[in-house]
Amino acid sequence: MAYGVSAGALIVLAMFANGWSVERCGVEFQKLAKFAFRPPTTAAVPGMNWIRAILSDSLYSETDMEIALKSVFGEKAFTEAAYAQRIGAKIGIPAATIKYPSSLCLFTNYNRSKQETRGYRVMTEAENIKTWEVGRSASAAPLYQRAKYLAGLGTFQDAGVLANNPLMIALAEFAAWNGNAQPDLVLNVGTGTSPNAPLRDEESRFITDSWILRLKRAYMSIMQGQRIWDDATSANLNAGRNCGRYRLDLTITNPPAIDDTTSMPVLVSMVYRDDILLGAVPEIAYHLFATLFYFELTALPQKTGSNLYVKGSILCTRKGRDAALPKIAKKLRRSKVYINGKSCRSIIETDEHGNIQQHLEFMTGQSLLIELKEEGSLRAFPISGSPYDITNLIERGSTTAVFGMRTHKKRVRELTCSRPSKRRRLCIACLSS
């Protein structure tokens, strides 16, 4: 599951709808920004930018933005994104309405249940909306771009004016699909946070602390995605001890303007000079690798004293002819499996369709924790859905119960390896500001 706001919405669409790598997204995003934020011909005339903004409702041409988005996403419908369908990615892009009171709407590439939502509305009637139109609606920042009208739906703007971090929406959508289960991993990516100003023993000044400037400072503070992250994590401190929660962000004292494309190389260099940020990336990568796998029984567990003798297989969410499978299999062969904290021997094979199977036999009690420790990692990480309760699984289903699915529904075996796995990936990625 992947969700993004504003610029993060465009990155999420490029990665999970187009299938672009992070490196390509970085290069293409800079090109798109430079094209969309081309200075108008009147920019050299003092005051003309503001006159243009008042008369045309934006500083920049919506035509340039839409040309750039069409060149990236084409004319395909958002719900028909081929790459997302192949890997089973669920994408959610928030946008805000423009009438008072402004509210959040969520465009998705998946069929959402009619379960009631709080704080936002899922656009179930937006099946024919194109991917570029979703991106255009989600990135229509007031002042910089005009709001986007979508026929039959309404007019939308950047959701950052209401919630500049999609984390709460992402967690709510995860809960709608998975009930009380906890996601295996939550990755929240920011675009820079200003440090908190220290308290000072001084009175306000007439000009520098006027009500207009105070209102601006308060609004800009609300816009920081870090606040939503702090609220979410502090409100749910004990949720899932094995649920990895990570936020990647920079501290920026003087954040650049949205349209300052000249600052992008400087921001990139700041990322590569931040030791704390770079130090967190390997652990996230190791954890993400573990969540590619889940466990299935191959036979009913046998009671042996107070324990159970279990036979099963670790399987991969990526199936069949997926180009990533050879690299995944190579890394898996160099990884160690741990059952309830103890190393376990295994046999790794591939079936006739190229799907990975890692066979295990072990003794366990009622609780089963399966972890992978990749070569180079300092610790092991739980595979998707781990830890499991063996007793409950036996009571609720046969050996066709899928451990990686918290609802333990029967898996429909794929007949051909070209079809994507229908198993839910218990992982959330959010791109925010």
**SS (HEC) of 170-205:** HHHHHHHHHCCCCCCEEEEECCCECCCCCCCCCCCC
pLDDT of residue 401: 42
pLDDT of residue 416: 36
pLDDT of residue 428: 66
338, two tokens: 């741990």
Report the candidate in 190, 94, 88 with the shortest Cα–Cα distance to residue 139.
Answer: 94
pLDDT tens digit string along 348-368? 998 888 899 999 999 999 899
- Tokens 């089973």 sit on residue: 88
From CA 354, how far away is CA 83, in angstroms rounded?
Answer: 19
For the chain, percent of residues with pLDDT exceeding 70: 87
pLDDT of residue 352: 85
Report the candidate in 217, 186, 261, 239 with the shortest Cα–Cα distance to residue 432.
Answer: 186
Report the candidate in 57, 256, 213, 222 with the shortest Cα–Cα distance to residue 140.
Answer: 57
Mean pLDDT over the full length of the chain: 86
Residues 403, 423 contacting (CB under 8 angstroms): no
Residues 315, 355 contacting (CB under 8 angstroms): yes
- Tokens 């750039």 sit on residue: 68
pLDDT of residue 353: 85
Instruction: Give the helix ranges, DSSP H, for 209-296.
Output: 211-222, 225-235, 264-273, 275-290
From CA 253, how far away is CA 184, in angstroms rounded?
Answer: 33
pLDDT of residue 289: 97
Mean pLDDT within 69-74: 96
pLDDT of residue 392: 65
Q: Which of 117-121, 208-212, 269-273, 404-408 comes out lowest in average pLDDT? A: 404-408
Of 6, 58, 335, 377, which residue is the catalytic one?
A: 6
Give the confidence band of 396 by pLDDT, cuts at 50, 70, 90.
low
pLDDT tens digit string along 92-109? 999 999 999 999 999 999
In the predicted structure, residue 400 carries a pLDDT above the cut 80: no
Mean pLDDT within 219-246: 73
Of 58, 139, 158, 259, which residue is the catalytic one?
A: 158
pLDDT of residue 76: 95
pLDDT of residue 270: 93
Active-site residue flag, 158: yes
In the predicted structure, residue 418 carries a pLDDT above the cut 50: no
pLDDT of residue 275: 93
Q: Which of 108-122, 178-192, 316-330 comes out lowest in average pLDDT? A: 108-122
Mean pLDDT within 111-121: 80
pLDDT tens digit string along 30-68? 999 999 999 877 666 777 777 878 888 999 999 999 999
pLDDT of residue 265: 92
In the predicted structure, residue 381 carries a pLDDT above the cut 60: yes
pLDDT of residue 240: 45
pLDDT tens digit string along 140-170? 999 999 999 999 999 999 999 999 999 999 9
Biggest CA-to-CA distance, the chain: 86
From CA 225, how far away is CA 340, in angstroms rounded?
Answer: 37
Which are the contacts of 404, defined by CB distance < 8 A and separation ≥ 6? 293, 294, 295, 296, 315, 317, 383, 384, 385, 423, 426
pLDDT of residue 409: 41
pLDDT of residue 242: 46
pLDDT of residue 241: 46
In the predicted structure, residue 305 carries a pLDDT above the cut 50: yes
407, two tokens: 């609802």
Active-site residue flag, 231: no
Amino acid of residue 331: K
pLDDT of residue 237: 53
Give the confidence band of 408 by pLDDT, cuts at 50, 70, 90.
very low
